[in-house]
Amino acid sequence: VQSMGRDSRLLNVVDASGVSRSQNGLYAYGTPFWGDCCITRSYDVRYDVNAPYVALTFDSGKLSIDGSLRYDMGDARGNYSGTAIAQNLDVNGDGVIQPVEQRVATVDTANARPVDYDWNYLSYSLGGNYLINDDLGAFARVSRGARANADRLLFGVIRDDGSVTSDEAVNVVRQTEAGLKWRRDGLSLFATAFAARTQEQNFEVTSQRFFNR
């Protein structure tokens, strides 16, 4: 708790009986309003990725085509620890348990959980441009890409043995587009139609909900 404005300072909260409910401006060691879920955490995880890539281009004057392939291979190894609630922990070491020290969020290192999973996925892109005349051109592209999820999988999605499903480990994006480009005397006009389909693995902190959509 602190005052607002210029030269702000920490404030202590005192109840009606005169007992301090905070310590040096700190009302709680943790986030009790959110169930002490998300502050006192620890993780030590290594992510290794190898991704060979190849690209080709063809150009015949009016027509140009390009394509690329990439294959991602990765693994995650390590451990993570969530929150443990300690009762009556003398945080400042003064020998007195203050009200704010009666419930303290700590890192639960005694119950660390493993991270042990692999992933792989293929990405590609294929597109082309065609010059219809000096002023008008057409283009099209189809592509597929992905993203490997990392620490956002911890604290809810990873299984007890450290593994995850392939659907949770990787989010895929697919996109198709086509259009026309027209240019004359300094004036340009572009028209594009596209469709995209995405996947997302994430965590919504206020509702404490993991989602995969």
- Confidence (pLDDT) at 177: 97
- Averaged pLDDT for residues 87-101: 80
**Number of neighbouring beta carbons within 10 Å of residue 208:** 12
Q: Is 158 or 76 the better-scoring residue by pLDDT?
A: 76
Q: CA–CA distance from 97 to each of 124, 169, 199 (Å)?
A: 61, 44, 48
Q: Is the pLDDT of residue 167 over 90?
A: no
Say if residues 179 and 193 touch (Cβ distance below 8 Å): yes
Task: Read off the pLDDT of residues 54-83 as tens digits, 9 standing for 90 and up.
Answer: 999 999 989 999 999 999 999 999 999 988
pTM of the model: 0.72
Could you tell me if 172 and 146 are in contact, meaning their C-beta atoms sit under 8 angstroms apart?
yes
Q: CB-hemisphere CA count at 13 Å for 179?
A: 11
CA angle, 112 then 168 then 152, to 5°: 50
Q: What is the pLDDT of residue 75?
A: 96
